[in-house]
Amino acid sequence: MKIKWVLLAFLSTIVNVLSGCESLAVLDPKGPQAQTQANVIWLSIAIMAVIVIVVCAILVFVLTKYRDSKLPKDYEPPYIEGNHVVETIIVGVPILIVIFFSVVSVISNNKVEATPEGYKGQDPLVIYASSSDWKWHFSYPENDIETVNYLYIPTNRPLEFKLYSFGPITSFWIPQLGGQKYAMSNMVTTLHLAADESVEMMGRNANFSGKGFAENTFHVEAMSQDKFDEWVKEVKETAKPITEVRFNELLKPGHEGQLTFTGTHLDFSPAPEGENAGHHHGSSDSNANSKGEHMEHDHKSSNSKEKSPHKHE
Amino acid sequence: MGFFSRFLIPNPSPVIYSSMVAIGVTVLLIIVGITHFKKWFYLWSGWLTTVDHKRIGIMYLISALLMLFRGGVDAVMMRAQLAVPDNKLLDSQHYNEIFSTHGVVMILFMAMPYIMALMNFVVPLQIGARDVAFPRLNAISFWLFFMGAMLFNISFVIGGSPDAGWSSYFPLAGNEFSPHVGTNYYMIGIQIAGIGTLMTGINFLTTILKMRAPGMTLMKMPMFTWSSLVTSIIIVFAFPVLTVALIMGTMDRLFATKFFTMTDGGMDMLWANLFWVWGHPEVYILILPAFGLFSEIIPTFSRRNLYGYRSMVASMVFISIYSFFVWTHHFFTMGQAAYVNSIFSITTMVIAIPTGIKIFNWLFTMWKGRIRFTVPMLYSIGFIPLFTIGGVTGVMLAMSAADYQYHNTMFLVAHFHNVIIPGVVFAVLGAGTYYWPKMFGFMLNERIGKWAFWFLTIGFCLAFFPMYITGLDGQARRIYTYSESTGFGPLNMISFIGAVLMAISFVLIVYTIYYSIRHAPKDVGDDPWDARSLEWATHNPVPEYNFAIIPQVNSRETFWDAKYKGHELFKGDYEKIHMPNNSGVPFIMSCIFFVFGFALVFSIWFLAIIGLIGIFVCMAHRSFEIDHGHYISVEEIKETEAKFRGVNKWK
Ligand code: HEM
Ligand SMILES: [Cu+2]
Ligand SMILES: [Cu+2]
């Protein structure tokens, strides 16, 4: 009974896989948004597994019971149009499941689009994450610093990422904090995240953007607010300011190591929002006016040195 | 850029040089062969100028198999590249070109024509018609598809292939980021083929509505015809969107318009919207006929009528409408509001309901049946659990909050292959085997066919199930390499092994054909599977006029009734039959289209203008042409019918 064995093999792989899943990035969340998403994923895996098992069970039953070689020679299958009870069940149960999932989906959508649970009312740290071929530029208007290809974030504080791109559409993704949103050239999208633990994580551009796409990754490190403040202070003391000339150099296609600057490129090359906005598609972003308050920092960091590319082992 | 340097490949490699040589040698061999066997005339009069829906179907089939090979080689190369971390087999540019052409070739030049092959061959027979409504338009459709596909394929050796993915998102696909001609090929090759598809849609819509045999009401139509009808309607609504999007993209690339640019008011997301407004219905254009095929195969080999016919029809109609209301699920992450995502999340999940109904109906069709495990049936049985898995992962993707974590990852790749391979590929391979005797008059070897099935199925599971896991572990799609430290290595190696098994299965399929041509018995009767619908009521292979006498339909399974319940299918006597004449114009016009397209790709304007004039000349020629077709005389019909054994068996 080949079919049976194949199905058994399926089931056992599924079980094996599920037991190994805890360590998969997406299912190993380090923040409330990723946690919400992991919960939705687990819930849907569970319900969907039941459906697959039911279908497989019926299939195996039918195939073993009604195979040609097993039936009496004179057996003639009957003509059956359908059956109202059966049809009600096969329509009704999926409808109930879909209703249930719709509710889950709407609730979770609202969660991932809002300030993370447990962080409401706190003042978020706004970070502008913009991509160029094939780098990530992180601007911290509040701290007045900028990094390239790495991201330091404080734990236990809501983060508000403002995403846009200097080239093709890219997608900002830190699997363990929560996923992914597009960064586009003439609008700013907002992603609300937060980190619960001090950990190092992988972040990347998830949307194909040409030749250097595979290496379009960045390093993420979540640390306590104290450590974060310390780091900011260090950057201010050691890093060189970002200048328009230097920034335009960075925008050219190619890869760079991890770089650190004081000041942000938002000063001379503002993000496409507010009066620079290209377009928007009904984003639920409530922080349309957040730009103004961040732009008021003044930068007197002319005597700081550019730090040699930030190294991480 | 100099005139000639445009034709060079941007970054050639030994692979490309050797395939150039291979292509050259093959073309030469074919030409020598045809000349040697003096087949030029036969080729011209029998095939290139034919308007017979059956021959057009067979030409679609051959093209689809060729393209399956091309796309398959791409696939295996991709999997080989990803099999180990930090692999140097392909460089980034080459990999990008390969996955872009793989996607386009598989969807548009393999799956589509394979479906078209079966629609062309089967639908007129199934409704008891002599041909499609517009036979010559049908030939044009085929040749346009063919020339579009060829134009797309020569990009591999002349000028460079598209490298922005099969979805070709702007601004990446714009001149700034894709400067070589690859994306021009994409825009124009698909455009030419797409026009052909649109005309096929119109043609089959008309055929099915107007040319059914007497007595065949809509609710007596066989399931595959129903699915073709619904598909044609989707084509007629969806393809114009593609046409417009491609025109806008072409204008941006060739004439520096600013539809999809980053500045000057262009909107990159407009492309994404237009692309998916076509692209999502497109996947239903592929899957619904596949559903139709399974609904033919499963009842035949269960020796039972299709369970829940009405709900099958209803669910298909419902899906066809709904497929236009879900396109945004392809970019949940584009930054629209939570309520927008919620709406599209729900509309997407709702489609799972009619799909689920169909799955259960197939299961209940087998229930109390008498199941024979033939090759077509194996494909249909394998389809059920695998497609269910693909479907439920689709529901998982439809939960937009979770999709934030799946989007653009291997999880997504696993999902869509999980629906498209068991759904579409299994259907066309199974149906190809099922209808083979109708097409060619002999059966394909079952034993080799079963081997091919098992290789394909096991290979499929190995190739794609690991991707669900690597996706959840953070492997993005379309990356050409990854580092050892990611830990993706072992699972990708398993995927590669799976891909190799699938490749072996393809070789086995080709071998079955070869083996059966040599060894299979040449007289299998008209109805070798003991089937249920009208296409089996005529001879094997089918005579030019399909049915000597137009059949009388009394039920959904009229042929079954004729065999076992004494229904009289063919009433009356032979009469002369009117048939359309062959014409060289569709072929010639499509060749001119090819030249025109080529000229546009490389912006050779004088040639483009000549081409355009040529196309209009062909159309003008048609409108002045006087062609009333021809008649097949009663004597000739009698002669032909007498040649088949078992004549008048159902008469
Ligand atoms: C031998 C079987 C196959 C293998 C091993 C295979 C493998 C792959 C791989 C590795 C990718 C690239 C994923 C990425 O990095 O984005 C891909 C993409 C794709 N495949 Fe397949 N594939 C197979 C068959 C098919 C078939 C039969 C179809 C359609 C009928 C298909 C349609 C696609 C599409 C549409 C894409 C997306 C291309 C893009 O990202 O632009 N594939 N496939
Ligand atoms: Cu946008
Ligand atoms: Cu879709």
Q: Tell me how far apart the alpha carbons of residues B475 and A210 are, in angstroms, rounded to a whole number.
A: 17
Atom 38 of ligand 1, residue of closest alpha carbon: B103
Q: Which pLDDT does position B68 carry in this prediction?
A: 94
Q: How far is the CA of B273 from the centre of ligand 3 (A)?
A: 11
**Token representation of residue A34:** 């990723």
Contact yes or no for A106/B344 (Cβ under 8 A): no
Q: What is the mean pLDDT of residues B127-154?
A: 94
CB contact under 8 A, B473 and A26: yes
B361, B395, B480: residue with CB nearest A44: B395
Query: Using CA atoms, how far apart are residues B393 and B409, in angstroms rounded to an integer?
Result: 13
Q: What are phi and psi of A152, to 5 degrees?
A: -105, 135
Report residue B38 as tokens: 């003096």
For the four alpha carbons of A256, A259, A264 and A267, in that order, the dihedral sign comes to negative
In angstroms, what is the span from residue B307 Cα to ligand 3's centroid? 28
- Ligand nearest to the Cα of B272, by number: 2
CA distance A3 to chain B (A): 9
pLDDT tens across A279-305, in order?
777 654 444 434 333 333 333 333 333
The pLDDT of residue A290 is: 40
Q: Can you tell me the distance from the alpha carbon of A81 to that of B361, in angstroms, rounded to the nearest whole number?
A: 11
Give the per-residue pLDDT at B355. Answer: 93
| pLDDT at B92 exceeding the cut of 80 | yes
Q: Which residues of A touch B349 (CB under 8 A)?
A: 98, 101-102, 105
Task: Measure CB to CB from residue B333 to each of A171, A213, A284 and give the nearest one.
Answer: A171
- Say if the Cβ atoms of B336 and A283 lie within 8 Å: yes
Rg for chain A, CA atoms, rounded: 26
What is the predicted pLDDT for the residue at A308?
A: 38
* Tokens at B233, concatenated: 């309607």
- pTM here is 0.91
Contact of B105 with B70, CB cutoff 8 Å: yes
Please state the ipTM of this predicted complex. 0.91
Work out the minimum CA distance from A108 to partner chain B, whole angstroms. 6
Mean of per-residue pLDDT scores for chain B: 92
Whole-number pLDDT of residue A286: 43
Q: Of B523, B560, B552, give the one whose Cα is nearest residue B540.
A: B523
- Please judge whether B408 and A182 are an interchain contact, meaning their C-beta atoms are less than 8 angstroms apart: no
Q: Kindly tell me the sign of the dihedral angle through the C-alpha atoms of B594, B599, B605, B610.
A: negative
**How far apart are the C-alpha atoms of A37 and B427, rounded to whole Å?**
35
Contact B253, B211 (CB under 8 A): no
Per-residue pLDDT of B459-480, as tens digits, reads: 999 999 999 999 999 999 999 9
Name which of A105, A112, A192, A220 to mutate to probe chain B: the one with the most chain B Cβ atoms within 10 A of its Cβ: A105
| Backbone φ and ψ of A127, nearest 5° | -125, 125
Q: Do residues B225 and B208 touch, judged by C-beta distance below 8 A?
A: yes
User: Beta partners for A67?
Assistant: B371
A211-225, B75-89, B162-176, B520-534: which range is least confident on average?
B520-534
Q: Could you say which ligand is closest to the alpha carbon of residue A283?
A: 2
DSSP secondary structure code for residue A25 in this structure: G
Structure-token pair, residue B267: 């909107």
Question: Tell me, what's the pLDDT at B14?
Answer: 79
Check residue B641 and give its pLDDT: 85
Disruptive mutation site among A180, A192, A201 for chain B (greatest number of B CBs within 10 Å): A180
Q: Would you state the pLDDT for residue A237?
A: 92
Instruction: Enumerate residues 6+ apart whose C-beta is below 8 A from A77.
Output: B302, B303, B304, B368, B369, B370
Predicted local distance difference test score (pLDDT) of residue A310: 43
**Average pLDDT rounded to a whole number, residues B229-250:** 96
Q: Does A30 touch chain B (CB under 8 A)?
A: no
- Give the separation between CA B433 and CA B513, rounded to whole angstroms: 10
Q: Is the dihedral of CA B6, B12, B18, B23 positive or negative?
A: negative
The Cα–Cα gap between B190 and B246 comes to 8
pLDDT above 70 covers a percentage of chain B that reads 99
Q: Which residues contact B478 (CB under 8 A, 6 or more apart)?
A: A208, A213, B96, B99, B165, B408
Tens of pLDDT, residue by residue over B272-318, are 999 999 999 999 999 999 999 999 999 999 999 999 999 999 999 99
CB neighbours of residue A141 within 10 Å: 23
Q: Residue B3 pLDDT more than 90?
A: no
3-class secondary-structure state, position B296 = helix
Size of interface A-B (CB pairs under 8 A): 294
Comparing B645 with B463, the larger pLDDT belongs to: B463
Interface with A, mutate which of B357, B405, B406 (most A CBs under 10 A): B405
Cα separation, B265 vs B258, in Å, equals: 7
Nearest to B401 among A37, A167, A169 (CB): A37
What is the per-residue pLDDT across B71-87, written as a single tens digit (0 to 9) for each? Answer: 999 999 999 999 999 99
Query: Model confidence at B541, in pLDDT bands (50, 70, 90)?
Result: confident
Is A77–B389 a contact, with Cβ atoms under 8 angstroms apart?
no
Q: What was the pLDDT predicted at A305?
A: 36
Q: A40 burial class (0-12, 13-18, 19+ CB within 10 angstroms)?
A: buried
Tell me which DSSP letter residue B128 carries: T
Looking at per-residue confidence, does B184 or B27 come out higher? B184
The tokens of A164 are what? 């846009």
Q: Which atom of ligand 1 is nearest to the CA of B503?
A: 1
Task: Enumerate residues lining ligand 1, CB below 6 A.
Answer: B 72, 75, 78-79, 99-100, 102-103, 106-107, 110-111, 165-167, 413, 417, 420-421, 424-425, 463, 477-478, 499, 502
pLDDT tens per residue, range B614-628? 999 999 998 898 888
Q: Residues of chain A whose pLDDT is less than 70?
A: 1-22, 275, 282-313
Longest dimension (CA), chain B: 77
pLDDT tier for residue B433 given thresholds of 50, 70 and 90: very high
What's the average model confidence in pLDDT over B340-364?
A: 94
Mean local confidence (pLDDT), B167-192: 93
Q: With bands split at pLDDT 50, 70 and 90, how would you rate the model's confidence at B324? A: very high
CA B551 – CA B536 distance, rounded (Å): 12
- The pLDDT value recorded for residue A176 is 95
Match 């290789």 to its residue by tokens.
B455
